[in-house]
Amino acid sequence: MNPLPRFLGLALFVLLAALTALLTVPAWQSAHPEAAPAFAPGPTAAPSADSPAGAVARASALSQRLAFALALAGLVLAGVLVLTLAQRAARNGETRGPLSAARTEIATLTKLAESSVAQGAELSRERDVRRLAEEDADLKQHLLAQSVADKVRLGHDLHDGIIQSLYAVGLTLESTRALRPHDPAEADRRIDQSRAALNQTIRDVRSYIAGLAPDRLHRGGFSHALDGLLRELGAGRAVRFDVKVDDTAARLFTPEQTVDALHIAREAVSNALRHGGASLVTLRVHHSDREVCLLVQDNGTGFDAAARREGGHGLSNIHARAARLGATVRLTSQPGDGTRVVVTLPLQPAPAA
């Protein structure tokens, strides 16, 4: 606390007390004349400076001057005291002013923080909604791509499986017409064979509809299925098949790879018979430490492998299936020199024990 106002107030009290005392002395002298010294009688004699009356007069004048000085000093002190109190009030007001401004600023910052929190929550909600929408779009895109891939695969299966089987049945029935006049028994046998092939094709179609591999794969594996399709494709034709399948190599195929490898062999053999007119078709399946190899070679008319063929899907299906297997395809052919198709599937390394 500032001690100046207290000191000024004390000084003012002392001055007022002294001023009261000075003003009281002349009044006391007037009320007690007997206390004044006696004068010598005389009609008009003026008191001398050394007389008692002159001393009283001088004391009275001095009192009046001191009283005036003290009153003036008291007035100055009172003014200073008033100014000091006014400055203290101003300082108190200035102190209250910054506190009020600080409270206002804190309230503003609080509102701003609440607004920022609300905006952050809204932005977070919008991000979550956008993320869910993107995930839903990605899922729909994945399902669409999967649907397209399934349709492409089904198209390959129908072309390489069902259509080739129907081609084979048609060729068998066509050869039956020529046998009918002179060998009815053989003709009847081929008709029965065609009926059995059609029934097998119907079962294959049902298997495809159910999303399963053809029945012949479940019954005997790759070798059995390969023998069945060669009998089917060679029915009614003067063709010989030279087949050597390493069962160990065939067992390295997964079920999906077995289906694709069988379809590749079917397509290559069908092309050799229908387009190349081959009389000998060689098939090999073997493996090394790093890969499994499927070979289909014929002695047919061949074709220019560098020329683009229009209207056919067989070769493109072979390449598509090989790509799905992660395999490579090497196709060589020249007009009059037959065709050779080699499909090489790299083996996955066995996991370390």
The CATH number of the domain holding residue 340 is 3.30.565.10
pLDDT in the model for residue 270: 85
233 lies in some domain: no
Report the candidate in 301, 243, 247, 304 with the shortest Cα–Cα distance to residue 274.
Answer: 301
Provide the pLDDT confidence category of residue 44 given band limits of 50, 70 and 90.
very low
Average pLDDT over residues 38-59: 53
Domains held by the chain: number: 1
Q: What is the pLDDT of residues 167-210, one digit of tens each?
A: 778 878 888 888 888 888 888 888 888 888 888 778 777 656 65
pLDDT at 304 over 80: yes
298 lies in some domain: yes
226 lies in some domain: no
* CA–CA distance, 207 with 140 (Å, rounded to integer): 27
Average pLDDT over residues 258-266: 86
- CA atoms within 13 Å, Cβ hemisphere of 39: 18
199 lies in some domain: no
Full domain range(s) for residue 288? 238-353
pLDDT in the model for residue 299: 94
332 lies in some domain: yes
* CA–CA distance, 113 with 19 (Å, rounded to integer): 66
H runs (alpha helix) in the chain? 4-31, 52-157, 164-179, 184-209, 215-234, 247-251, 255-274, 314-325
Which of the residue ranges 70-84, 86-100, 106-120, 278-292 would you say has the lowest mean pLDDT?
86-100
Average pLDDT over residues 28-33: 57
For the record, the structure tokens of 342 come out as: 């080699």
Provide the pLDDT confidence category of residue 344 given band limits of 50, 70 and 90.
very high
* CA–CA distance, 28 with 26 (Å, rounded to integer): 5
248 lies in some domain: yes
- Cα-to-chain-centroid distance, residue 126: 13
Q: Are 37 and 52 in contact (CB under 8 A)?
A: yes
pLDDT at 290 over 80: yes
Q: What is the pLDDT of residues 110-141, one digit of tens each?
A: 888 888 888 888 888 888 888 888 877 776 67
Average pLDDT over residues 309-322: 71
> Which residue has better confidence, 164 or 82?
164
pLDDT in the model for residue 286: 93
The residue type found at 109 is L
Average pLDDT over residues 202-229: 68
pLDDT in the model for residue 317: 79
249 lies in some domain: yes
Average pLDDT over residues 37-55: 51
- CA atoms within 13 Å, Cβ hemisphere of 70: 19
The residue type found at 255 is P
34 lies in some domain: no
pLDDT at 65 over 90: no
Q: Are 295 and 264 in contact (CB under 8 A)?
A: no
pLDDT at 310 over 60: no
Provide the pLDDT confidence category of residue 295 given band limits of 50, 70 and 90.
very high
